[in-house]
Amino acid sequence: MSHSLLSFYSLSSILALLPLFIFILIKRKQSKPKLNLPPGNMGWPFLGETIAYLNPYSATTIGEFMEQHIARYGTIYKSKLFGEPAIVSADAGLNRFILQNEGKLFECSYPRSIGGILGKWSMLVLVGDMHRDMRVISLNFLSHARLRTHLLKEVEKHTLLVLNSWNQSSTFSAQDEAKKFTFNLMARHIMSMDPGDIETDQLKKEYVTFMKGVVSAPLNFPGTAYRKALKSRSTILKFIEGKMEDRVKRIQEGNESLEEDDLLNWVLKHSNLSTEQILDLILSLLFAGHETSSVAIALAIYFLPGSPQAIQQLREEHREIARAKKEAGEVELTWDDYKKMEFTHCLAVSNIICDDDDVMPFKVFTTEQHYGYSLITQDYVVKVVNETLRLGNVVRFLHRKAVKDVNYKGYDIPSGWKVLPVIAAVHLDPSLFDQPQHFNPWRWQVLRFQIINGHVENNGNSRGSCPSKSITNNNFLPFGGGPRLCAGSELAKLEMAVFIHHLILNYHWELADTDQPFAYPFVDFPKGLPIRVQPHSLLPN
């Protein structure tokens, strides 16, 4: 058969089969139901809209990217972020839905670069059973009982150490001081390291380099912040391993000191974790517990001078606590003193948890109980919320992915897509919080409600003007929610309240330079929040 005849036959058979191919393609398309994805823009190939999404902006706003996208597409939109197709949610209901369905419809899913630096065993990136085991260890260690018996004392000690080091009428970076406080506290609590010791200072230095890499672009080339951070990570891990070996030896010899009632001791004695797992657990707790609460304290220091009325009210509250202590002959703060810090809690504490948008009856669950991880029952009759965290938004959004095809209010979220619940966007939503850009602690004044015959009744115990929709629904999630709710939320609140207590009693402060918090998206003060302090004492003579 000649060559041209062969080509003729091949061509004619392809032509004959063409209608069949077209038919199969059409059928396939018809059998796949068309997805109703949220509106949005997938941006550039691979990068998508990541660069614009991460463009820094004032932390008390949602930023230009978010504003424009919400105006164009609404509070749920599609995009391409961190190299993957993504659904972004600024919708309070969807955010709750995502967090509550962790492990069922959605799963924690941080970019690989974060896993690379925090470690594959870090509980911030782990999922499933291993995450649960690590979480139980952390919750035990940060339990309510430990807060009362150990941590309150430690928090006060470390607060005073920092505040007492401030010279008369000096100017310095408030952010650095807040970091010093939270780092010393965590280093002590995790590995019994003392502030001021050479090894503590060395670890802190390495940690600063490590942190710069966590928040930098994940470019693993010589000289980049990411590469330096990976190096610091291994130095820090070697250091922790050294501490671990030393501790194991002392435990075996029965030589541990009573002082060493720390996380390291706890995991060595009560868990079956491997060395590698313990190292990542310790590193991630140091990270989670240090960076976040120091930013929260810096934010309170930043917001308060803008509200003289709030400062006045805090002074009255804390002077009264100090007066009562003096009368009782007490020096150290007690748990009862902490509970008396009601107005401070308006700045610092949140705990409004309920199933849906219903008004809460008297019975209040903490999220921990709610998800079967029973940890904390606060004695406070009603829960109040945290204005500093609402406006400052230490954690702005979380990383999740859909593990099943999900339909939410008519929108399809395909399995495998990235899902980003933007908790900050809800906290700054004017339809949920009146004048959201305004620092207004009174919006959280306690209202008590009772459900009487199916109707919501105010039991007459309310104070101040509180938009009930803000306090009674679950739109406020600074600590996340669901099975991954922040394990250190109670400690963070305690740290803030105790720090504010001593700051207010002992100092007057003002901003020494213009500075403001920016979202990079991690929150940071570009100039370190320089403040000028004047010692004053509100303590009774």
Helix or strand holding residue 193 (H, E): none
CB of 471 to ligand HEM, least distance (A): 19
Q: What is the DSSP letter of 40?
A: B
CA angle 56, 62, 489 (to 5 degrees): 95
* Bond preceding residue 521 cis, omega within 30 of 0: yes
Residue with smaller CB distance to ligand HEM, 229 or 288: 288
Residue 351: C-alpha distances to residues 49, 99, 140, 176, 377 (Å): 35, 16, 19, 28, 10
Alpha-carbon dihedral 296, 301, 306, 307, rounded to 10 degrees: 80
Mention every residue, 6+ apart, whose C-beta is less than 8 A from residue 438.
none
Tell whether residue 486 is among the known ligand binding residues: yes
Residue closest to ligand HEM (Cβ): 488
> Footprint of ligand HEM on this chain (CB under 6 A)?
108, 123-124, 135, 138, 142, 285, 288-289, 292-293, 296, 389, 394-395, 398, 478-480, 484, 486-488, 491-492
- 292-325 burial code (b ≥16 CB/10 A, e <16): bbbbbbbbbbbbbeebeebeebbbebbeebbeeb
Q: What is the DSSP secondary-structure string of 74-132?
A: -SEEEEEETTEEEEEE--HHHHHHHHHTBTTTEEE---HHHHHHH-TT-TTT--HHHHH
CB of 288 to ligand HEM, least distance (A): 4
CB of 507 to ligand HEM, least distance (A): 22
Residue with smaller CB distance to ligand HEM, 90 or 124: 124
| HSE value, Cβ hemisphere, 13 Å, CA-based, for 381 | 11
Q: What is the DSSP letter of 148?
A: I
Residue with smaller CB distance to ligand HEM, 427 or 484: 484
| HSE value, Cβ hemisphere, 13 Å, CA-based, for 423 | 26
Write phi, then psi, for 281 (nearest 5 degrees): -65, -45
CB of 182 to ligand HEM, least distance (A): 7
C-alpha to C-alpha distance for 219 and 337, rounded to whole angstroms: 48
CB of 89 to ligand HEM, least distance (A): 14
Residue with smaller CB distance to ligand HEM, 401 or 502: 401
CB of 207 to ligand HEM, least distance (A): 14
Residue with smaller CB distance to ligand HEM, 187 or 487: 487
Residue with smaller CB distance to ligand HEM, 94 or 398: 398
Residue with smaller CB distance to ligand HEM, 142 or 352: 142
C-alpha to C-alpha distance for 385 and 476, rounded to whole angstroms: 8
Helix or strand holding residue 504 (H, E): helix 489-506
CB of 229 to ligand HEM, least distance (A): 20
Residue with smaller CB distance to ligand HEM, 73 or 373: 373
Residue with smaller CB distance to ligand HEM, 351 or 449: 351
C-alpha to C-alpha distance for 460 and 448, rounded to whole angstroms: 8
Do the Cβ atoms of 108 and 102 come closer than 8 Å?
yes
Encoded tokens for 463: 């104070």
CB of 161 to ligand HEM, least distance (A): 18
CB of 487 to ligand HEM, least distance (A): 4
Q: What is the DSSP letter of 453?
A: T
Which residue ranges make up the annotated binding site for heme?
Answer: 486
Per the annotation, binding residues are 486
